[in-house]
Structure 1
């Protein structure tokens, strides 16, 4: 039906006849000559329809926005002075010789050719097939395709085997609720949609597959936000006979190749590495954004003897923390802005946000500082704070004092917000690895240990004897890849010995009976010569979101759900009829 793509016409085709197909992006009638901007996935080209061809002109008069046309015409240069340097086809146009309306279109519910983001997401998702016609949406999905292609090519080149794993499986605990699918053949029993292929990829290692990957669909029934969806895509990877250092090197080379191929960006080689404890100490987060040159500085030792209880009590508490955050040139912040930041940290449980403005410290010492808390701090404490933070005239110092968890969360979030508000970013891209995560964390409410990652993560080899005696000090062989403050991949070396897996289950209060019921197939497989193995999973949607500069993963998915986990396009989820329920041996009841 077509000989060329709209966006690929150029001056090499001058005086050639071509046939194009596409959508009407814009139609303009200029004194008896009709101009049509015809669009397909490759771009836009200008069509000129003269009245000296009555049949063609009559068809052009009927054309409206989003009509589907076929146009046969002759390529020619645009008249001098009418060129459009912003278009790849801006030097030429197509003189229409024959025009056919392949399909008319109703007026679209929002403008596609001059979109300014003023259409609600609900409307965009209801008419997603129209929204996807917009050039920026086309660009995002094409870039997504190239990213996935590049990932696949890299893994193929490194002897990975792509293997599909089941979608209908059994429910296993992986940190979120499962989506359950009732079985018609087995009334009263359910499949679960996989939160990840975790157990199957470990079984593949036990099967001798050596190197596996899969672009896998995963499902989690959890509260949503900008970078979460009930169904999402991850690049799932597992390898045998590689330690964490070798695996991490292999993976960062892969991400470097993706950035080089897709964005022509050279990421650092090697990626920096931070331990979990160092990341939390310096940035209050296990996924720090290293583009922001702000760090949390511990000052609890300077506050233990002050009379100001807001600082003294957490400073004396082994589970407390007191930090300072120096903001270069932050002294320019108004009191209104400081109050807004105080309100911001309250979202994370902080009871307040103390500060000191450094006006003229160099010449006036204490008298050159401005803060309502100065009266509570002796000279020695102030001198220690100034020396430790390195603050100079014009700076501002924020303070966080509370439990360590509250301080880390509140001040870590404040650090990122300040970086964005004050445009403090030093680089466009900053990847890193975070390593040496705690193996377990203690749930105070449930009074038991839980796995920080998942129960199949291996502990450090030299810490196996601490599993029962001091689990809180055990570190795992886990690693996360972080990019610009977002975790894009996470994994670990797995437990490959059945007795170690049983010990971990026991510590996590998973009884032998429960372990057998949930993971009996895995425990049995571990007894048949399981190789040492490990893996990682990358969030494809999140990676594409970052690489395209999008604000949400919904912008890089073809047919996403809303934040209420519904689909305005199809109306899912929806009710089913009584016959279907009876076939599944189900009966609905009203929630009370």
Structure 2
């Protein structure tokens, strides 16, 4: 019987082990036969090592070695020797040694896998997801989960050192679909009634503050039944934090220290503190985005005051109707073919822009279909404002403020990618603060919360809640890294009167508010301390740390974009008996 306790992991095999007899456990990566010897690359989660089987060392066991195939699971006893000069493999941590096998035990065989277990494997993602247990064997995937483990340990140690309690909140909660759709769970013992899986522990962590816990954190699973993208999943992991007796200035520096530690101890990146801060308005004005990528320039430039009375009616009408005219200056792009400029026009149309105007400053002078509408003085003022020089192109969008921001913000990113302006190794953290508390949803004909309905208004804006609700700023903040939102939070409402007022602005009657959130409102009547917190998407953070483009690559068993598990074949039809026990009847829709 194999003695597993004697095992040595591959990453610990170096020249200092030469002469020792070691036991190795792992998977056969590759087998090669050379001149009566068998060479096996043995893989475990720590790395690879070369094992040599010879008839003089193995005796009858050599025949067993001849039967080895890729992905066989083996136990090997062997002696470590230094590789001959000139045979060192610099690409392996164990490349200076090899192991001469003395005994072999095959713990389990393997069918031929559907694809090679190697990094950068060229196979469709659906195949990888169907055989996820094989995909997880690949070294790059194992490194992802090594980093993921390290990140969660750093989080736990950090918050423990700051006096936080790690507290679990319920997985079966009350449905309150104010944001994304809930996943509902039927109750067998309460026919016709349902739990919901938590979209966030938001209310429970606030109740923990009511309960006097003061400092709480949790690494928690959350669920949202929403359309998926490359950086979203129906179930995801969140670092959840809440504190009592705090304001914004207490929370942000602490979270910065956490990020400095995570990025330093996992990928060796030095992160400077304090993080820059932009108000929401400044971020939208300069970058057209509330999660701006500041690794490159090409900021949005407002030219509405310069073009409002020009002969170009598209610009003049936009300004006259309370809209906006902005532009970006693409340096050194005057040689861009007309075909590509037209493609960029189609690109911004996906963000509701009705058109993309442009001015090219070539060696031969200005070239633009809109130049004829401007006087020499007006054109000179435009070029001075945009700091455009020979060799540049200036792109303009005129429309409502939100459409202009959205279209030019995305055009800025698209041009930066095409022009190679984004430094790969930069880590530009920043905070976006003072978000609007509310926005008006035309489709629903009501106000909705930008973050969530428990976010506190800024103190100086409280008088505007009834008269100018869309002007009210929130004590909310998002942490952004390289144009990706890592997480966000806010100072919370902790008084019943203000919370009820906000529910009313969101279109909830008093009866509806009590039905959905009565237990929270009642709790606010029993000495609730001021409190606030933050939540970070752990999966998204790991994606950025490991340089992955898809969140599925950092989750052990992810879902597809249609929210299905290809490996387990979930979701699936269940037996009628189960439905009857739950008092549920399914109805097919056409």
How does the TM-score come out when normalised to structure 1?
Answer: 0.97
> In the alignment, which of 430, 440, 444 is matched to residue 432 of structure 1?
430
Q: Tell me, what secondary structure is at the counterpart of 1:80?
A: coil
Counterparts of residues 270-349 of structure 1 (less than 5 Å): 270-318=274-322, 320-349=323-352
> In the alignment, which of 114, 134, 138 is matched to residue 130 of structure 1?
134
Matched, 1:33 2:37: yes
Name the CA distance, whole Å, in 2 between partners of 1:353 and 1:29: 64
Q: Tell me, what secondary structure is at the counterpart of 1:330?
A: coil
Aligned residue number for residue 77 of structure 1: 82
- Higher deviation after alignment, 51-60 or 523-532: 51-60
- Higher deviation after alignment, 230-239 or 170-179: 170-179
Matched, 1:354 2:357: yes
How far apart are 1:570 and its partner, in Å?
0.3
Kept in 2: contact 1:8–1:43 (CA 8 A): no
Name the CA distance, whole Å, in 1 between partners of 2:53 and 2:150: 37
Matched, 1:222 2:226: yes
Aligned residue number for residue 575 of structure 2: 577
> In the alignment, which of 407, 411, 414 is matched to residue 408 of structure 2?
411
Matched, 1:103 2:108: yes
Aligned residue number for residue 238 of structure 2: 234
- Higher deviation after alignment, 339-348 or 26-35: 339-348
How far apart are 1:335 and its partner, in Å?
2.1
Counterparts of residues 450-465 of structure 1 (less than 5 Å): 450-465=448-463
- Seen in structure 2, the aligned counterparts of structure 1 residues 452 and 141 have a Cα distance that, compared at 3 Å, is same
How far apart are 1:76 and its partner, in Å?
0.7
Name the CA distance, whole Å, in 1 between partners of 2:470 and 2:74: 68
Q: Tell me, what secondary structure is at the counterpart of 1:307?
A: coil
Aligned residue number for residue 532 of structure 2: 534
Kept in 1: contact 2:53–2:62 (CA 8 A): yes
Name the CA distance, whole Å, in 2 between partners of 1:343 and 1:104: 55
Q: Tell me, what secondary structure is at the counterpart of 1:24?
A: strand
Aligned residue number for residue 588 of structure 1: 586
Kept in 1: contact 2:217–2:240 (CA 8 A): yes
Name the CA distance, whole Å, in 2 between partners of 1:380 and 1:566: 60
Runs of 4+ in 1 over 6 A off after TM superposition: none
Aligned residue number for residue 418 of structure 2: 421
Aligned residue number for residue 386 of structure 1: 383
Aligned residue number for residue 510 of structure 1: 508
Aligned residue number for residue 363 of structure 1: none
Aligned residue number for residue 364 of structure 1: none
Aligned residue number for residue 498 of structure 1: 496
Deviations 1:490-532 (A, max 9, x none): 1100001111111111121111000010000000000000000
Q: Tell me, what secondary structure is at the counterpart of 1:400?
A: strand
Deviations 1:106-139 (A, max 9, x none): 00000113x4342111110110010000000000
Kept in 1: contact 2:433–2:476 (CA 8 A): yes
Name the CA distance, whole Å, in 2 between partners of 1:54 and 1:371: 83
Q: Tell me, what secondary structure is at the counterpart of 2:490?
A: strand
Name the CA distance, whole Å, in 2 between partners of 1:209 and 1:154: 18
Aligned residue number for residue 366 of structure 2: 369
Name the CA distance, whole Å, in 2 between partners of 1:162 and 1:91: 44
Aligned residue number for residue 439 of structure 2: 441
Matched, 1:54 2:59: yes
Counterparts of residues 16-31 of structure 1 (less than 5 Å): 16-31=20-35
Q: CA RMSD in A?
A: 1.2
Name the CA distance, whole Å, in 2 between partners of 1:210 and 1:112: 48
Aligned residue number for residue 253 of structure 2: 249
How far apart are 1:415 and its partner, in Å?
0.7
Q: Tell me, what secondary structure is at the counterpart of 2:60?
A: helix
How far apart are 1:578 and its partner, in Å?
0.5
How far apart are 1:472 and its partner, in Å?
1.5
Aligned residue number for residue 523 of structure 1: 521
Q: Tell me, what secondary structure is at the counterpart of 1:467?
A: helix
Counterparts of residues 175-186 of structure 1 (less than 5 Å): 175-186=179-190
Matched, 1:169 2:159: no
How far apart are 1:31 and its partner, in Å?
2.2
Name the CA distance, whole Å, in 2 between partners of 1:55 and 1:314: 87
Deviations 1:33-92 (A, max 9, x none): 110000001110001111323323211110011011111111111122221111111111
- Higher deviation after alignment, 424-433 or 120-129: 424-433
Q: Tell me, what secondary structure is at the counterpart of 2:298?
A: coil
Kept in 2: contact 1:292–1:416 (CA 8 A): no
How far apart are 1:358 and its partner, in Å?
1.4
Show structure 1 runs of 5+ residues with no match. Answer: 361-366
Name the CA distance, whole Å, in 2 between partners of 1:23 and 1:3: 14
Kept in 1: contact 2:327–2:408 (CA 8 A): no
Q: Tell me, what secondary structure is at the counterpart of 2:411?
A: helix
Name the CA distance, whole Å, in 2 between partners of 1:7 and 1:260: 22
Name the CA distance, whole Å, in 2 between partners of 1:347 and 1:56: 66
Name the CA distance, whole Å, in 2 between partners of 1:372 and 1:442: 37
Name the CA distance, whole Å, in 1 between partners of 2:560 and 2:443: 32
Name the CA distance, whole Å, in 1 between partners of 2:379 and 2:469: 39
Kept in 2: contact 1:56–1:96 (CA 8 A): no
Name the CA distance, whole Å, in 1 between partners of 2:264 and 2:9: 27
How far apart are 1:473 and its partner, in Å?
1.2
- Higher deviation after alignment, 261-270 or 236-245: 261-270
Deviations 1:194-226 (A, max 9, x none): 000000000000000000000010000000000
Name the CA distance, whole Å, in 2 between partners of 1:204 and 1:251: 20
Deviations 1:127-152 (A, max 9, x none): 00100000000000110111111111
Aligned residue number for residue 112 of structure 1: 117
Name the CA distance, whole Å, in 2 between partners of 1:238 and 1:16: 52
How far apart are 1:446 and its partner, in Å?
3.0
How does the TM-score come out when normalised to structure 2?
Answer: 0.97
How far apart are 1:417 and its partner, in Å?
1.4
Q: Tell me, what secondary structure is at the counterpart of 1:481?
A: strand
